[in-house]
C-alpha cells in the first residue's frame, strides 16, 4: 500500500464542479441558453401578438413601390422605385452627412484645440468662447438656428446671388454647374488612378531612401505635379471630353446643374461646429498630456515651434486623442438622425418616418434601423481601433 | 438618435405589451377616463389653450365618448401625437382611441390592424400659395418646391398628382407641422400642401395670413375619422355610435340648448335620448348615453360651428353638411 502510494504522482481528484474550466464553461452555457431563450420568447411573443392584432409582418414590403419623392438622392431614385431603394437613398444620405461632418469637425476641432493652447491671449480666449458656447447649447437648437439663419438670410430664387459663372445661391440651395462626361473621359479617371498609385510608391521609396542615406526628397512637389499633370495630359490627349450643364431659372426654381440643399448645409454646419467643440477639448487634453520636457528637448535640438508641434508633440498626443475621438465620431453619426426635424432625407426621416407610416410595420423597420446604426458605429469603431493600434507608442 | 428613441420605445412597448386585453370598454371604466390620441395642435380639430384645455371637432369625439361612458365629458386624458407616432401609440394600447384628423385608407384599415369607426370630417388635399406668386390653379405649379409633413397621405397624393399631370416638383418633408409652416413662411417652398381644413388652420399661424391663399383644387379624398384597434367590436361600437349620436341629434334638431324641451317628444327623439328602447344597454353604456353626449358636448352641427365656422378659420360646412341639406354626412338610425 505504502509503496503504491509513493510510486505514482500524487493523484488529486478534482470533481467536475470544482474544476474552474468546467465551471466557467458551464456558467457561460447557462447564460447563453437564458439569453437565447429570452430572445426567442420575445420574438415569438411579438409575432403572436402582431398576428392576433391583424398587423402585417415580414419584409416583403421592401420590394413594393414607394410612390413618394425624395428631395436629394445620391443614387438614381424616382417615385416608381421600391421601398428598398428609398431605404438605400436614406442610408447614403446619412453616410454622406456623417462622412463630411467627421472631416469638417476634425479640422475645426484640431484648429480650435491648438488655438486654445496659444500663448496669444486673444486667440486662446476666442477658442475658449467657441468651445463654451457650442458645446453647451443643445444640438437640435443649433440645427434650427443654422437652418432658419440660412433660409432667412438668403434671397428667393428670382433674386439669386450669382457668385461665378453658373453658380447661384438662393434659399432653395446652392446651384452648381454639373459636369457631363463624354466618351473618352474614362482615360482621365485612369490617369488620376495611376497618378495616385505613383505618388504612394514614390512616398515609400523616398522614406526608405531617407532611412538608408539620410537624403531628403521633395515628395510634395512631385506629387502635386503628378496628380495635376497626368489627368491634364489625358484631358488634352482626348480633347476635353467634358461639358458643363449650367443651372438656369425656369418658372419657380432653377433647373439643371447640381444643387446642394439648405437642409444639408444647415445639418452639416451644425454637426461639424457642435462636435468640433468636443474635439477641441480632446485635442487640448492630448497635447497637454505630453510632458513639457518633450518641447524643451525638441527646442534644444533646434526645432522651431511648427516642427515641434508636428513632429514631436502631435504624434505622442494622438495616443491620448484617438480613443475619445472615436466616441465623438460615433456621436456625430448618430446625431445626424436629428435631421428629420429639418427635412434632410436621411435614414430616420425616410425609413422610420415616411416608410414606417406607409407600411405600418414598426417592429421590422425599427429593427433594421437599429441594425444599420449599429453596423455604422461598429465599422467606425473598428477603423478607429485599427488606427489607434497603428499609432500606439511602440514599446522598445 | 433622440428622435428615434421614442419610436423605439413605442415599438418595444408594442412588442412586449401588445397583449392588451380585448375588452377596452372594461379597461376604460376601470381606470375612469378615456385616453385619447390627438394632434400636437391643429386649430379647429384638436388644440389646447393657454390653460391646457383641449378643444376641436376631434376632441369632441373623445368628449362624447366620455359623456356616453361616464356621463362626464371631462373624463378624458389627451396624448398629443405626431403623424408618425399615432398608429404605434394606438396599436400598443398607449391610447384607447385615435381622434387625430386621420385619413381612412385601405392599408390603415387592414395591414395596420386598425378600424375606422366613421367619418367626422370629409376633407381633401389642397395647396396654399403666396398671392404674389400669381398662381390661380394647381396645374400652374410645375417646377415648384412643395413643403409637407412626413408620415401622412399627403406625400403620396402630391407625388401622384404632379406625376399624373406631368409636372416637375421637389418635395421637402418635415417631421412636425409647425416646422413645415415655419419653413414655408421663410420661403423654402412655393407651396404648402396638406388637407384643406389644415391649410385654413395653419394659415392663421403665418406672419401675414392675408398674403396667402388656398387654391381651389382638391386633389384627393381625405375622409377623417376616429380610429380604434381591430378585434374589439364593443369598443368599436361605442366609438362609432358616439359619432352617429351627434349626427342624428343634429338631424332631429336636438341641441345642447333645447334638449330639455325635446324630452318626451316623437318616438325617434325618445329613442335618441334613451327614453325608449335599450340602446345604451346594448352598447354597454348608460341608457341616457346619447342625451349625455348632446347635453354636454352638443350635436355635430354645434361642434362644427363652435370649432370650425368661427374666425379665423371660417370653414363652411360644404360636403360636411347633413345629407338632408345637400351634404354627405349621414348616420344610420338609432332603432
Q: If you count residue pairs, one on A and one on B, with CB atoms under 8 Å apart, how many are there? A: 167
Taking only the tens place, the pLDDT of each residue in B76-123 is 999 999 887 899 899 989 999 999 999 999 989 998 889 999 999 999
Kindly state the helix (H) or strand (E) to which residue B214 belongs, with its residue range: strand B212-214
- The model carries a pTM of 0.82
C-alpha–C-alpha distance, residues A147 and A118, integer Å: 32
To the nearest whole angstrom, how far is the Cα of A286 from the nearest Cα of chain B? Answer: 28
The CA angle B240-B245-B250, to the nearest 5 degrees, is 135
Residues B67-84 have a mean pLDDT of 93
- Under 8 Å CB-to-CB from A294, ≥6 apart: which residues? A312, A313, A316
- Subunit contact B175:A69, Cβ cutoff 8 A: no
pLDDT at residue A120 in the model:
93
What fold characterizes domain A83-143+281-391? MetI-like fold (1.10.3720)
DSSP character for B143?
T
CB neighbour class for A136 (10 Å; exposed up to 12, middle 13-18, buried from 19): exposed
Q: Copy the grid coordinates of residue A366.
A: 425599427
Distance CA B212, CA B132 (A): 8
Task: Give the model's pLDDT for residue B109.
Answer: 92
Mean pLDDT computed over every residue of chain A: 88
Give the DSSP H/E element, type plus range, for residue B148: strand B144-149
- Burial of residue A163 (CB within 10 Å: 0-12, 13-18, 19+) is exposed
A199: closest CA among A162, A225, A165? A225
Tell me whether the omega of the peptide bond preceding residue A261 falls within 30 degrees of 0, making it cis.
no
Is A251 in contact with B144 (Cβ distance < 8 A)? yes
Q: Residue B17: its pLDDT value, please?
A: 46
Report pLDDT for A280. Answer: 96
pLDDT at A258: 86
Other beta carbons within 10 Å of A11: 6
Neighbours of B124 (CB within 10 A): 17
pLDDT digits (tens, 9 = 90+) for A221-264: 888 888 888 888 888 888 777 778 888 888 888 888 888 999 99
For A360, A374, B303, the CA distances from B263, given in Å and listed in that order, are 46, 65, 21
Note the pLDDT of residue B18: 43
Architecture (CATH level 2) of domain B125-220: 3-Layer(aba) Sandwich (3.40)
Categorize the per-residue pLDDT at B19 as very low, low, confident or very high, splitting at 50, 70 and 90. very low
Cα B231 to chain centroid, rounded: 22
From chain A, pick out residues whose CB is under 8 angstroms from the CB of B14. Answer: 46, 49, 362-363
Number of Cα atoms under 13 Å in the Cβ half of residue B93? 21
CATH 3.40.190.10 residue spans of chain B: 2-122+224-325, 125-220
List, for residues A170-222, the tens digit of each pLDDT value: 888 889 888 887 777 888 888 889 989 998 998 899 888 888 888 877 788 88
Rg over CA atoms, chain B: 20
Residues 137-196 (B) with a CB less than 8 A from some CB of A: 141-145, 147, 150-152, 155-156, 158-160, 163, 168-176, 179, 182-183, 186-188, 190
Give the rounded distance of the alpha carbon of B98 from its chain centre.
8
For chain A, what are the domain ranges? 2-48, 83-143+281-391
**H or E element that contains B191:** strand B191-195
At CA B144, angle to CA B143 and CA B149, rounded to 5? 135
**% chain B with pLDDT above 90:** 73
Using CA atoms, how far apart are residues A334 and A369, in angstroms rounded to an integer? 11
pLDDT band at A9 (very low <50, low <70, confident <90, very high): low
Separation of alpha carbons B281 and B274, rounded Å = 10
Spatial neighbors of A318 by CB under 8 A, at least 6 apart, are A286, A391
Tell me the per-residue pLDDT of A14-65, one tens digit each, with 9 for 90 and over.
777 788 888 899 999 999 999 999 999 998 988 888 888 788 888 889 999 9
Model pLDDT, residue B129: 95
Q: Are B67 and B290 in contact (CB under 8 A)?
A: no
Residue B16 has a pLDDT of: 45
A61-113 pLDDT, tens per residue?
Answer: 999 999 898 988 999 999 999 999 999 999 999 999 999 999 999 999 999 99
Nearest CA of chain B to the CA of A190: how many Å? 36
Q: Is residue A196 helix, strand or coil?
A: helix
Q: What is the mean pLDDT of residues B263-290?
A: 92
- Rounded-to-integer distance, Cα A378 and Cα B55, Å: 48
Give the mean pLDDT of B52-64: 95
Mutate to test the interface with B, among A39, A42, A68, A333 (most CBs of B within 10 A): A68
Cα–Cα distance, A266 to A249 (Å, whole number): 24
pLDDT at residue A395, as a whole number: 65
pLDDT tens digit string along B135-186? 999 999 988 999 998 878 888 899 999 999 999 899 999 988 889 999 999 9
The more confident residue out of A38 and B17 is A38
Comparing A142-146, A176-180, B44-48, B178-182, the range with the smallest average pLDDT is: A176-180
pLDDT at B254: 95
Question: In terms of Cα–Cα distance, which of B239, B231, B329, B332 is closest to B293?
Answer: B239
Mapped onto helix, strand or coil, the DSSP state of residue A32 is helix
Q: What is the pLDDT of residue A21?
A: 87
Q: Give the C-alpha separation, B310 to B304, whole Å.
A: 9
pLDDT tens digits along A319-332: 889 999 999 999 99
- A chain contacts of residue B182, beta-carbon cutoff 8 Å: 148
Fold category of B2-122+224-325 in CATH: D-Maltodextrin-Binding Protein; domain 2 (3.40.190)
- How many whole angstroms separate alpha carbon A161 and alpha carbon A178? 18
Cα angle A267, A271, A274; round to 5 = 140
- ipTM tops the 0.85 cut: no
Q: Which of A46, A67, A171 sits opposite B188 (nearest CB)?
A: A171
User: Least CB-CB distance to A156: which of B163, B179, B187?
Assistant: B187
Asked whether A81 and A65 are in contact (CB, 8 A), the reply is yes
pLDDT of B268 over the 50 cut: yes
Amino acid at each position: 500500500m505504502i509503496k503504491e502510494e509513493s510510486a505514482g504522482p500524487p493523484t488529486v481528484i478534482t470533481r467536475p464542479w470544482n474544476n474552474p474550466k468546467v465551471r466557467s464553461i458551464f456558467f457561460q452555457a447557462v447564460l447563453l441558453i437564458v439569453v437565447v431563450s429570452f430572445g426567442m420568447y420575445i420574438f415569438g411573443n411579438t409575432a403572436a401578438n402582431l398576428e392576433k392584432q391583424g398587423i402585417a409582418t415580414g419584409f416583403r414590403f421592401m420590394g413594393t413601390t414607394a410612390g413618394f419623392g425624395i428631395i436629394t438622392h445620391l443614387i438614381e431614385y424616382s417615385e416608381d422605385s421600391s421601398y428598398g431603394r428609398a431605404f438605400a437613398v436614406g442610408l447614403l444620405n446619412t453616410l454622406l452627412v456623417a462622412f463630411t461632418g467627421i472631416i469638417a469637425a476634425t479640422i475645426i476641432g484640431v484648429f480650435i484645440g491648438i488655438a486654445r493652447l496659444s500663448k496669444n491671449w486673444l486667440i486662446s480666449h476666442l477658442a475658449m468662447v467657441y468651445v463654451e458656447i457650442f458645446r453647451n447649447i443643445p444640438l437640435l437648437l443649433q440645427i434650427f438656428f443654422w437652418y432658419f439663419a440660412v433660409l432667412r438670410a438668403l434671397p428667393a430664387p428670382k433674386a439669386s446671388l450669382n457668385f461665378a459663372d453658373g453658380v447661384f445661391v438662393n434659399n432653395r440651395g446652392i446651384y452648381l454647374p454639373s459636369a457631363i462626361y463624354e466618351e473618352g473621359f474614362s482615360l482621365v479617371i485612369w490617369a488620376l488612378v495611376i497618378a495616385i498609385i505613383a505618388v504612394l510608391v514614390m512616398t515609400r521609396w523616398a522614406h526608405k531612401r531617407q532611412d538608408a542615406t539620410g537624403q531628403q526628397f521633395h515628395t510634395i512637389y512631385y506629387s502635386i505635379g503628378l496628380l495635376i499633370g497626368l489627368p491634364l495630359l489625358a484631358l488634352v490627349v482626348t480633347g476635353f471630353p467634358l461639358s458643363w450643364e449650367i443651372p438656369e431659372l425656369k418658372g419657380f426654381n432653377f433647373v439643371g446643374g447640381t444643387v446642394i440643399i439648405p437642409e444639408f448645409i444647415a445639418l452639416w454646419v451644425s454637426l461639424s461646429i457642435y462636435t468640433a467643440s468636443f474635439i477641441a477639448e480632446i485635442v487640448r487634453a492630448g497635447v497637454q498630456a505630453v510632458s513639457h520636457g518633450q518641447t524643451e528637448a525638441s527646442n534644444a535640438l533646434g526645432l522651431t515651434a511648427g516642427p515641434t508641434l508636428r513632429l514631436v508633440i502631435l504624434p505622442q498626443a494622438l495616443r491620448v486623442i484617438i480613443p475619445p475621438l472615436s466616441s465623438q465620431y460615433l456621436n456625430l453619426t448618430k446625431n445626424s438622425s436629428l435631421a428629420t426635424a429639418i427635412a434632410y432625407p436621411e435614414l430616420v426621416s425616410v425609413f422610420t418616418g415616411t416608410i414606417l407610416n406607409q407600411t405600418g410595420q414598426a417592429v421590422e423597420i425599427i429593427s433594421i434601423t437599429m441594425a444599420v446604426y449599429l453596423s455604422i458605429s461598429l465599422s467606425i469603431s473598428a477603423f478607429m481601433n485599427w488606427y489607434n493600434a497603428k499609432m500606439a507608442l511602440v514599446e522598445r | 438618435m433622440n428622435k428615434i428613441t421614442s419610436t423605439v420605445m413605442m415599438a418595444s412597448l408594442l412588442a412586449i405589451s401588445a397583449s392588451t386585453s380585448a375588452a377596452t370598454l372594461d379597461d376604460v371604466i376601470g381606470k375612469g377616463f378615456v385616453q385619447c390620441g390627438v394632434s400636437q395642435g391643429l386649430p379647429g380639430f384638436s388644440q389646447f389653450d393657454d390653460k391646457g384645455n383641449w378643444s376641436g371637432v376631434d376632441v369632441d369625439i373623445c368628449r362624447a365618448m366620455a359623456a356616453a361612458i361616464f356621463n362626464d365629458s371631462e373624463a378624458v386624458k389627451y396624448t398629443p401625437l405626431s403623424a408618425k407616432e399615432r398608429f404605434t401609440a394606438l396599436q400598443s394600447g398607449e391610447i384607447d382611441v385615435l381622434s387625430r384628423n386621420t385619413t381612412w385608407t385601405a392599408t390603415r384599415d387592414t395591414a395596420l390592424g386598425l378600424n375606422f369607426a366613421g367619418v367626422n370630417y370629409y376633407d381633401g388635399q389642397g395647396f396654399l400659395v403666396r398671392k404674389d406668386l400669381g398662381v390661380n390653379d394647381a396645374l400652374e405649379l410645375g417646377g415648384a418646391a412643395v413643403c409637407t409633413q412626413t408620415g401622412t397621405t399627403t406625400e403620396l397624393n402630391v407625388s401622384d398628382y404632379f406625376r399624373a399631370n406631368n409636372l416637375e416638383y421637389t418635395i421637402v418633408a418635415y417631421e412636425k407641422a409647425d416646422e413645415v409652416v415655419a419653413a414655408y413662411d421663410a420661403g423654402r417652398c412655393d407651396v404648402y400642401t396638406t388637407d384643406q381644413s389644415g391649410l385654413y388652420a395653419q394659415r392663421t399661424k403665418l406672419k401675414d395670413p392675408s398674403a396667402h391663399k388656398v387654391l381651389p383644387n382638391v386633389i384627393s379624398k381625405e375622409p377623417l375619422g376616429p380610429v380604434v384597434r381591430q378585434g374589439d367590436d364593443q369598443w368599436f361600437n361605442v366609438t362609432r355610435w358616439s359619432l352617429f349620436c351627434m349626427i342624428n341629434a343634429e338631424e332631429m334638431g336636438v341641441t345642447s340648448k333645447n334638449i330639455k324641451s325635446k324630452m318626451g317628444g316623437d318616438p325617434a327623439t325618445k329613442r335618441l335620448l334613451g327614453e325608449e328602447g335599450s340602446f345604451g344597454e346594448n352598447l354597454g353604456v348608460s341608457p341616457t348615453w346619447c342625451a349625455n353626449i348632446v347635453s354636454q358636448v352638443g350635436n355635430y352641427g354645434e361642434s362644427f360651428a363652435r370649432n370650425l365656422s368661427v374666425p379665423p378659420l371660417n370653414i363652411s360646412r360644404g360636403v360636411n353638411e347633413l345629407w338632408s341639406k345637400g351634404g354627405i354626412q349621414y348616420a344610420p338610425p338609432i332603432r
